[in-house]
Amino acid sequence: MERFAWKELQEWKESPKRKPLLLKGARQVGKTYLLKAFGKTAYDSVAYVNCDNNRLMHEMFRDDYDIERIIRNLTAITKVKIEPHKTLIILDEIQEVPKGLASLKYFCEEAPQYHVAVAGSLLGIAMHEQTSFPVGKVDMMELYPMNFEEFLAAMGEKELLYLLQVKDWESLRVLRSRYIDLLRQYYFVGGMPEAVAAYREDKDILKVRTIQQAILSAYHDDVSKHAPQREVPRIHMVFRSIPSQLGKDNKKFVFGALKKGARATEFEIAIQWLIDSGIIYKVNRITRPQLPLSFYEDFSAFKLFLLDCGLMGALANVPAAAILVGDSIFKEYKGSFTEAFVLQQMKTMKEVSVYYYSNDNSTLEIDFVIQCGTRVIPIEVKAEENLRSKSLKTYVEKNSGLKAIRLSMSDYRNQDWLENVPLYAVGVIKDEGSSISASLS
């Protein structure tokens, strides 16, 4: 299946300043598949090694970091002749061999002619950053679940994808029913590559839900295997609470919803563990819409989202019919699916930092406020065609220089202070050349 990260991999391969590549991401987002497919297409040969439970890999890095010896050993293990510039060396699950991660420094400094790409879970990489992480000696990429545009490509809807990318608003208006139907399908299937591949094959929604449950089960097992034992119950509590927390009118994460009298200090490690694993995303509140937004971050107030809307539906056990049939998915659950969908798309956008805003008494709230290059953009998410935006208009009037985006089921329209963008066209936010928004003065 086509992944937009392919272009980044090609740029990495051709870069004269290329360093060993570290591809990070949560489990099951397609890191291994992407690297193997790229290697088979862009190189003469691929030398692939899975480091998980691999005794030979531990022994290979036990004594030193002699690159010639390492190349000989990798050739023996993979039975592939490793040639400079012609062979892609892939070390999978690199977090299982910390010294293998450290060896990237020596590939960078002593043997840049070898093309090395490693894949690892976010959690495992984070655990090793303090000890053997080759700071400044690797190029990094992060892979996320497939976004809606990648889903369209996987479903064979190349023409619909093209119309989105060129922002042909009139054609989008004419074809809106097709886009909305595909959006419903994406809400259910989500962007985990295995689920998307299964759905593309025969549209078997039962198979898709089985795959999603298996991924959730694998995440559950990862918690038990890797997390500090005293934190395991708290991690599970936080994870299971996310759908109900997002189902509230005020989607701010409330510790008291976990258990009576719960305090932030009890769950800080549990939340950070889930963030480090890539399983959840944390969106912090800001107090002012001024550049840089990180200066106005309030760490005490935040929202938590699951990494994939399809997995969220499986975790909440939402019936397939409630998502795929009719418009109830856009109207029910306080718009939580729609907000989760929008965030999932924005996480795949380069140089976009995501926050939200609410005033001290929570009487005015903006779903998302993003920093995109030198622009600050307040974003309101509407799960249906309701175009009332009192809070958003008030926010823009109080902060001159802003132009807002409203994402809704309505067609595109441009006003002085606001652009209404159809939900299925959320990807236009990533366009640096887009007319959307003005720079903050």
- Whether 394 is in a domain gets the answer yes
Give the global pTM: 0.92
User: How many of the other CB atoms lie within 10 Å of CB of 290?
Assistant: 14
Q: Which residues contact 243 (CB under 8 A, 6 or more apart)?
A: 306, 312, 315, 316, 336
- Whether 440 is in a domain gets the answer no
State whether 113 and 229 are in the same domain: no
- Whether 239 is in a domain gets the answer yes
- Whether 121 is in a domain gets the answer yes
The C-alpha atoms of residue 422 and residue 433 are separated, in whole angstroms, by 18
State whether 219 and 288 are in the same domain: yes
State whether 218 and 256 are in the same domain: yes
Residue 432 is predicted with a pLDDT of 41
- Of 142, 170, 203, the one marking the end of a domain is 142
State whether 387 and 408 are in the same domain: yes
State whether 90 and 161 are in the same domain: no
**Which segments in the chain show pLDDT lower than 50?**
128-130, 432-441
State whether 53 and 177 are in the same domain: no
pLDDT digits (tens, 9 = 90+) for 296-348: 999 999 999 999 999 999 999 999 998 888 766 666 666 788 999 999 999 99
What crossing angle do the helices spanning 205-226 and 232-246 adopt, rounded to 10°? 140
Q: How many domains does the chain have?
A: 2
State whether 236 and 136 are in the same domain: no
User: How many of the other CB atoms lie within 10 Å of CB of 297?
Assistant: 16
- Whether 435 is in a domain gets the answer no
- Whether 36 is in a domain gets the answer yes
The C-alpha atoms of residue 35 and residue 90 are separated, in whole angstroms, by 7
- Sequence-ordered strand ranges (E) for 106-182: 115-121, 139-142
3-state secondary structure of 421: strand
Question: Residue 38: which CATH number?
Answer: 3.40.50.300
Half-sphere exposure of 45 (CA within 13 A, CB side): 12
State the residue for tokens 């004269």.
16
State whether 110 and 167 are in the same domain: no
- Of 142, 161, 183, the one marking the end of a domain is 142
- Of 142, 167, 182, the one marking the end of a domain is 142
Query: Which one, of 429, 439, 379, lies nearest residue 165 by Cα?
Result: 429
State whether 204 and 313 are in the same domain: yes
Residue 390 is predicted with a pLDDT of 81
State whether 158 and 119 are in the same domain: no
State whether 201 and 305 are in the same domain: yes
- Whether 19 is in a domain gets the answer yes
Residue 122 is predicted with a pLDDT of 65
Q: Are 293 and 266 in contact (CB under 8 A)?
A: no
Residue 352 is predicted with a pLDDT of 94
Query: Which one, of 89, 96, 91, 92, lies nearest residue 128 by Cα?
Result: 96
State whether 53 and 130 are in the same domain: yes
User: Which domain does 33 fall in, by range?
Assistant: 5-142
Residue 124 is predicted with a pLDDT of 55
Residue 316 is predicted with a pLDDT of 94
